[in-house]
Chain A
Amino acid sequence: MAAIYKVSYVVIGEEHPGAILNVDHMPEVGERVELGRRQFTVVEVFELVPPRGEFHFLHATLAPAED
């Protein structure tokens, strides 16, 4: 089975609850992410805990996207 990335998204720079969800690729710095119809830019990604089986556990910090 392909890797599954469980990602904790935390938003900085504004009041936003962030999200936790499984995605099928590892987020990268500079990537755009949509949460609740809002666009954000990934500014930091790191491994929260070591992988277990196919699951990878990541923390990503988001900033409001500048259009």
Chain B
Amino acid sequence: MDLIAILKRVELFEGLAPVQLEAVAKICQERKYASDELVTAQGDPADELFIVCEGFVEIVLDSSSEASTPRTVVSLGPGQIVGEMGLVDYGPRSANVRATTDPTVVQVIQRIDFEALCDHDNQLGYIVMRNMAADLSFKLRRTNYAER
């Protein structure tokens, strides 16, 4: 599947015109991970957004005490984005992200490229930011239902 076809299946880019999808594709970089390989670590600077294209990653929280073990809070599969919090709030990574399949293929967007694209095309920026807010809302709703 070509990259444009992959991006069309990512909610973050829902509503973008073909020419806008092509602009997004130009700032994507593919990375492959082996199972159990760390994609990004809790506490690291967060200047990249990850889009899971193939396989799964798990979001793992380090324990606050040495006595207890890290806790996996969710697995994210194809079409899901990871690292969006740090992209918008400039905070450090709030969790570890680890590949759980071999291979796990992600597309990576650097913050500097993402912000430049949003500045260049404000409509694209509005749509992507709205979709990113919707994705965060989806994850919050999920957490609320999971804790019923």
Q: Chain A residues in contact with chain B, CB under 8 A?
A: 1, 4, 6, 8, 10, 17-22, 35-36, 48-49, 52-55, 57, 59
Contact = CB atoms under 8 A, between A and B. Distances in A.
Q: How large is the interface on B (under 10, 10 to 19, 20 to 34, 35 or more residues)?
A: 20 to 34
Give the dominant DSSP class at B's interface: mixed
B9 A19 contact: no
Interface in B71-93: 72-80
B62 interface: no
Interface of B: 8-9, 11, 14-15, 56, 58-59, 72-80, 100, 134, 137-139, 141-142, 145-146
B9 A18 contact: no
A18 B14 contact: no
27 contacts: A6-B11, A6-B138, A8-B145, A10-B142, A10-B145, A17-B58, A19-B56, A19-B75, A19-B76, A19-B77, A20-B75, A20-B138, A20-B139, A21-B56, A21-B75, A21-B76, A21-B77, A22-B9, A22-B11, A22-B77, A22-B78, A35-B75, A36-B100, A48-B138, A48-B142, A52-B11, A53-B14
